[in-house]
């Protein structure tokens, strides 16, 4: 491989655009910052087992060099990630059009449906940075990437320490539940959906407690608005008391103002952002929602 230019950098390592010398094919190579470790093996095993799906980034191969650096060779996505896509639109004062929001969301949910119901894993780190974009002529393609935290739905809790970005964390994670599962990915999709509409994070908490307060400010508190007995118990165990905030009838539409969203869009968003993970909409139900 010939490295061409760096296209991304994160806590995990860097991503480079590269060319396969034998076939001239353009690929993306992720070079891990840490030397070979269990997390790399886990991500490799997860990606290797994933069957091909149009909304999941393809892994071509992995290799280790003489210095024990670990490399993932993946398909190259020419549009960067969704975080950059949102940032660029915000800087250009150019809202994402409702049909684009719909296209992006449908593809994200399709990828999630595949990993949840076909592969039996959940992602655990859904956020705009981990959704890659490519343009094929005028068609916008979105694919799930970065499976470093992915876990089998059948595996028994407690899971490894959860390290995803706070703003996209489900309430059960913030309340230190050890028995969470795939509904955490759907909560994250709800927060991303709102961010696509407004071009700003829905719940940009400064800490875990602040995060919970921000969620309650929008949705009201469980026990007042939505019944979530498990959540109240988890909060008591942590010594946390939910603020006494009643949900407003149009709480989500007022947060999204002045950006346009249909009634079907609001309904889907409210079903993704349910406090109780057992009441949260699944990916297959979401794909069949009238919004699409």
Candidate from 33-37, 194-198, 265-269 with smallest mean pLDDT: 33-37
The per-residue pLDDT for range 211-221, each reduced to its tens digit, is 999 999 999 88
Element (H, E) at 219: helix 208-219
Neighbouring C-beta atoms of residue 146, cutoff 10 Å: 22
The per-residue pLDDT for range 67-116, each reduced to its tens digit, is 778 899 999 999 999 999 999 999 999 999 999 999 999 999 999 999 99
- Find out whether 79 and 133 touch, Cβ atoms under 8 Å: yes
- Four-CA torsion 36, 42, 45, 50, nearest 10 degrees: -130
Predicted local confidence at residue 225, as pLDDT? 47
- Find out whether 102 and 108 touch, Cβ atoms under 8 Å: no
Domains and CATH numbers, the chain: 2-75 (3.30.200.20), 82-287 (1.10.510.10)
Please tell me the distance from the alpha carbon of residue 171 to that of residue 164, in angstroms, as a whole number: 13
Residue 40 in this model has a pLDDT that exceeds 80: no
The per-residue pLDDT for range 194-206, each reduced to its tens digit, is 999 999 999 999 9
Beta strands, E only, the chain: 2-9, 13-19, 26-32, 59-64, 70-75, 121-122, 131-136, 139-144, 151-152
Catalytic annotation, pick one of 69, 125, 230, 264: 125
> Residue holding tokens 């469980």?
222
Q: What proportion of the chain, given as a percentage, has pLDDT over 70?
A: 93
Residue 11 in this model has a pLDDT that exceeds 80: no
**Omega cis (within 30) before 158:** yes
Binding residues for ATP: 30
Of the pLDDT bands very low, low, confident and very high (cuts 50, 70, 90), residue 49 is confident
Predicted local confidence at residue 161, as pLDDT? 58
Residue 152 in this model has a pLDDT that exceeds 70: yes
Output the average pLDDT for the chain: 90
Q: What proportion of the chain, given as a percentage, has pLDDT over 90?
A: 63
The verdict on whether 125 is a catalytic residue reads: yes
pTM tops 0.75, yes or no: yes
């Amino acid at each position: 491989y010939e490295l061409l230019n760096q296209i991304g950098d994160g806590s995990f390592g860097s991503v480079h655009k590269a060319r396969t010398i034998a076939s001239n094919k353009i690929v993306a190579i992720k070079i891990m910052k840490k030397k070979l470790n269990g997390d790399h093996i886990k991500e490799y095993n997860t990606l290797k087992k994933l069957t091909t799906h149009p909304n999941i980034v393809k892994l071509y191969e992995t290799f280790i060099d003489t210095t024990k650096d670990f490399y993932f060779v993946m398909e190259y996505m020419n549009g960067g990630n969704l975080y950059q896509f949102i940032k660029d639109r915000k800087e250009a004062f150019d809202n994402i059009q409702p049909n684009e929001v719909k296209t992006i969301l449908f593809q994200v949910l399709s990828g999630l449906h595949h990993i949840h119901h076909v592969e039996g894993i959940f992602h655990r780190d859904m956020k705009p940075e981990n959704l890659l974009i490519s343009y094929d002529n005028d068609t916008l393609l979105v694919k799930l990437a970065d499976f470093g935290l992915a876990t089998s739905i059948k595996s028994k809790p407690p899971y490894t320490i959860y390290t995803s970005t706070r703003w996209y964390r489900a309430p059960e994670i913030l309340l230190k539940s050890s028995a969470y599962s795939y509904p955490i990915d759907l909560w994250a999709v709800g927060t991303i959906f709102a961010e696509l509409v407004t071009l700003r994070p829905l719940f940009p908490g400064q800490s875990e407690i602040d995060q919970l307060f921000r969620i309650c400010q929008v949705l009201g508190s469980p026990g007042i608005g939505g019944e979530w007995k498990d959540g109240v118990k988890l909060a008591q165990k942590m010594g946390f008391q939910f603020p006494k905030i009643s949900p407003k009838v149009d709480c989500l539409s007022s947060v999204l103002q002045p950006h346009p969203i249909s009634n079907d869009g609001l309904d889907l968003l409210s079903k993704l952002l349910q406090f109780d993970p057992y009441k949260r909409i699944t990916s297959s139900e979401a794909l069949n929602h009238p919004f699409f």
